[in-house]
Amino acid sequence: MQKYIFSKRCGLFTVVSCAVLSLAFTSATSGKQEKAAPIPVYMAEETNLVSLKSRWVEEMEKETDFVQNVLEAKARQAAADAEAAAKAIRSAGAAEEAKAAAAREAAKQVQLETKFEAPVSSGDFYIEEIPLSYELQEYTWNITQELGVPYELLLAIMWHESRFTVDAIGYNTNGTQDSGLLQINDVNRGWLQEELGIEDLLDPKQNILAGATILSETISKYPENLALMSYQYGESGMKSKQAKGITTSKFVDTVLAKRDYYVSLREN
C-alpha cells in the first residue's frame, strides 16, 4: 500500500516536473524568437538590384521623353520649313501668273491697236467736218472695209449716239448702261470679250470694233432699215416691233439722213 502511494506520488512528481521543464523550455524558446533574425546577404544584394533597376528604368524613361521631345521639335521645324517653302513657291507662282497676265493684256492691247491698220490715203476716208481725230477716222475706215460695213453709216451712228464723244455714258431705264462712241450696251460685254477680247468699252478703238461688229452682223441678215432697228432695239426688240408692223423709226430715218450727208462730204 505504501509502495503504491509512493509510486503514484512519484508519477505525479514526474508529471509535474515534466510540465515545469516544458514550460521553462517554451519560455526560453519564446524569448529567443522575439529577436530579429539577420537578413541573409543574398537578399540584401537582390534588394540593391531592384533599386538599381528602378533607377535605370526612370533614367531610360527620362531619356525616351527627351528624345521624343527632340523628334517632335524637329518635326515641327520641318513642317514650318515646308510651309515656308510652299508659300515661297506660291508667291513665285502668283508673281509669274501676274507677269503672264500683264503680257497677255499687253499683247491684246497691241492686237486691238494694230487690227486693220493697213495704211490708206487721207483722201479715202478723212472728213474734216467730223470732230473725230484723224487716227480714229482711219481706224474706223479700216474696220468698216474689213467687215463690209458702210463707212459713212457707222460715222452717222456715232454722231447720233454720242456726237463723237469717246467717253459718253448713257443710263437706261432697265438698269443697263450704254458706253462710248457707239453707245454699246452692257448686255454685249460677255460675247465681245470672249470673241474679240474687248474689255473696255470706253476705249475708242475697242468701242468702234464692237459697234462695227454688231452692225456687220445685223446688215448681213436684214435689210438696211431693219438692221438699224436691230442695232437700236436689239434683235429681239426689232422682231417684236416688226411683228406689230413697225419697220422703221426716228433713229433709222435720222441716221440714214446723216449717212447721206457724210457721203456727200466725201464726194466733194
Q: Please provide the average confidence, as pLDDT, over all residues in the chain.
A: 80
For 138, residues 6+ apart whose C-beta sits below 8 A from its C-beta are 117, 120, 125, 126
Instruction: Give strand pairing partners of 179.
Output: 169, 184
Between 86 and 149, where is the model more confident?
149
Q: From the centroid of its chain, how far is CA 42?
A: 76
Domains identified in the chain and CATH numbers: 122-267 (1.10.530.10)
Could you report the per-residue pLDDT of 219-263, keeping only the tens digit for each?
A: 999 999 999 999 999 999 999 999 999 999 999 999 999 999 999
Could you report the per-residue pLDDT of 16-65, keeping only the tens digit for each?
A: 444 444 444 444 444 444 555 565 655 666 677 667 767 777 777 777 77
Could you report the per-residue pLDDT of 207-229, keeping only the tens digit for each?
A: 999 999 999 999 999 999 999 99
Predicted pLDDT of residue 84: 83
Is the pLDDT confidence value at 133 over 80? yes
Predicted pLDDT of residue 247: 96
Predicted pLDDT of residue 139: 97
Rounded to an integer, the average pLDDT of 85-111 is 66
193 close to 132: Cβ distance less than 8 angstroms: no
Whole-angstrom Cα distance, residue 267 to residue 61? Answer: 105
Predicted pLDDT of residue 56: 72
Predicted pLDDT of residue 60: 74
Cell 509512493 belongs to which residue? 6
Give the global pTM: 0.58
Predicted pLDDT of residue 35: 52
Could you report the per-residue pLDDT of 166-205, keeping only the tens digit for each?
A: 999 999 999 999 999 999 999 999 999 999 999 999 999 9
Predicted pLDDT of residue 215: 97
Cell 454688231 belongs to which residue? 214
